């Protein structure tokens, strides 16, 4: 019974007007959640947490660098799940969501690389090093850009989305490479500081709260931006359909 | 009050990049939505001949 209800609601989300309405309601709440979590996180990161005994204040960059890095990878995993659903069930709204994730993921990867570089200059003495973690993260940025380019290259948006979904699934191999790069190779980049499932985190607990708040914030932001972009793509693709005409007629 | 940090240039540049990218992620979809809606209205006006 519950399974059937879930299944019916899942398929109902495939209806563009239903998805559009849901996204319209959800997105502002996610943006509001992001604003609250980010405000708390940034306040703690800049005013509450003491300077690190070795890195001084430069370690505060990690409060945006680490959540951005995690989200760049988590966003890709979300896109891969959406790509599988899109390829198996051929649900157009899911295809659109998978494609809408790419520019947001690229944005987080860019934040990660740029802030990492800005942290690396005073701490490592260089803006960039071709080590495994940095290079695999750069490859992730190129994969995101490749997905966006491939999707845009097709005049038939659905065909473009299906080809790009296959590229997403091929590119997923880079995610474990990024994660384990610091263990598989000798890298300038430090090893895992925060361990969720195995072992103890080497970060002092007094420095953890801003990281947790910022991590939640960027996850909410990813969701909000994903819904915003998906809504726009739906609107663009269905611009001559009745539900869009009726919706714009109402808002005119 | 703006805190006085060591490595301030690197720190504030990082936070600035973060703020700019997030702001763009918020603004860009809204600008695109306005553009699409304007185009749809324009198309409809061309078909109906009514610009009201």
- What local confidence, expressed as pLDDT, does residue A198 receive? 67
Look at the pTM and tell me if it is higher than 0.90: yes
Cα angle B25, B27, B32 (rounded to 5 degrees) comes to 100
Q: Where are the domains of chain A?
A: 62-234
Chain segment A129-171, per-residue pLDDT in tens: 999 999 999 999 999 999 999 999 999 999 999 999 999 999 9
Among A120, A138, A126, A127, smallest CA distance to A177 is for A138
Contact residues for B29 (Cβ-Cβ < 8 A; gap 6+): A225, A228, A229, A231, A232
- Going A14 to A245 to A232 to A145, the CA torsion angle's sign is positive
CA distance B35 to A23: 19
- What local confidence, expressed as pLDDT, does residue A36 receive? 98
- Chain A residues with CB inside 8 Å of B14's CB? 61, 64-65, 114-115, 118-119
- Chain A residues with CB inside 8 Å of B17's CB? 111, 114-115, 118
How many Cβ atoms sit within 10 Å of the Cβ of residue A132? 20
Which one of B11, B17, B40 has the shortest CB-CB distance to A244?
Answer: B40
Series of mean pLDDT values for 10-residue runs along chain A (252 residues): 82 87 96 98 95 90 96 98 95 95 98 97 95 96 98 95 97 96 88 72 84 97 98 93 83 58
- What local confidence, expressed as pLDDT, does residue B49 receive? 80
CA distance A31 to A9: 24
Chain segment B3-35, per-residue pLDDT in tens: 888 999 999 999 999 999 999 999 999 999 999
A250: tokens are 């109402």
- Chain B residues with CB inside 8 Å of A62's CB? none
- What local confidence, expressed as pLDDT, does residue A4 receive? 87
Q: Per the CB < 8 Å rule, is B21 touching A107?
A: yes
Contact residues for A154 (Cβ-Cβ < 8 A; gap 6+): A160, A163
Please report the ipTM that was assigned to this predicted complex. 0.92
- What local confidence, expressed as pLDDT, does residue B29 receive? 97
């Amino acid at each position: 019974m519950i399974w059937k209800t879930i299944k019916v609601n899942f398929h109902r989300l495939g209806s563009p007007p239903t998805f559009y309405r849901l996204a319209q309601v959800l997105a502002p709440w996610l943006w509001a959640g992001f604003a609250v979590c980010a405000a708390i996180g940034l306040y703690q990161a800049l005013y509450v947490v003491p300077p690190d005994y070795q890195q001084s204040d430069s370690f505060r960059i990690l409060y945006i660098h680490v959540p951005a890095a995690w989200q760049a990878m988590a966003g890709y995993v979300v896109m891969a799940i959406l790509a599988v659903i899109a390829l198996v069930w051929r649900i157009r709204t899911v295809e659109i969501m998978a494609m809408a994730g790419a520019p947001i993921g690229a944005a987080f990867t860019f934040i990660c690389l740029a802030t990492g570089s800005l942290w690396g200059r005073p701490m490592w003495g260089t803006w960039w090093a071709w080590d495994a973690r940095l290079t695999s993260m750069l490859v992730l940025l190129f994969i995101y850009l490749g997905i966006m380019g491939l999707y845009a290259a097709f005049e038939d948006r659905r065909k473009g989305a299906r080809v790009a979904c296959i590229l997403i699934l091929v590119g997923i191999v880079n995610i474990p490479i990024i994660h384990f790069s610091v263990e598989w190779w000798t890298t300038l980049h430090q090893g895992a500081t925060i361990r969720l499932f195995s072992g103890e985190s080497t970060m002092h607990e007094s420095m953890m709260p801003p990281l947790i708040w910022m991590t939640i914030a960027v996850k909410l932001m990813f969701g909000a931006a994903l819904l915003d972009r998906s809504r726009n793509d739906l609107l663009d693709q269905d611009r001559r359909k009745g539900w869009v005409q009726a919706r714009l007629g109402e808002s005119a | 009050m703006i805190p006085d940090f060591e490595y301030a240039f690197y720190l504030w540049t990082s936070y600035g990049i973060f703020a700019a990218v997030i702001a763009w992620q918020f603004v860009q979809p809204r600008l695109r939505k306005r553009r699409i809606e304007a185009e749809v209205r324009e198309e409809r006006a061309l078909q109906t001949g009514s610009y009201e």
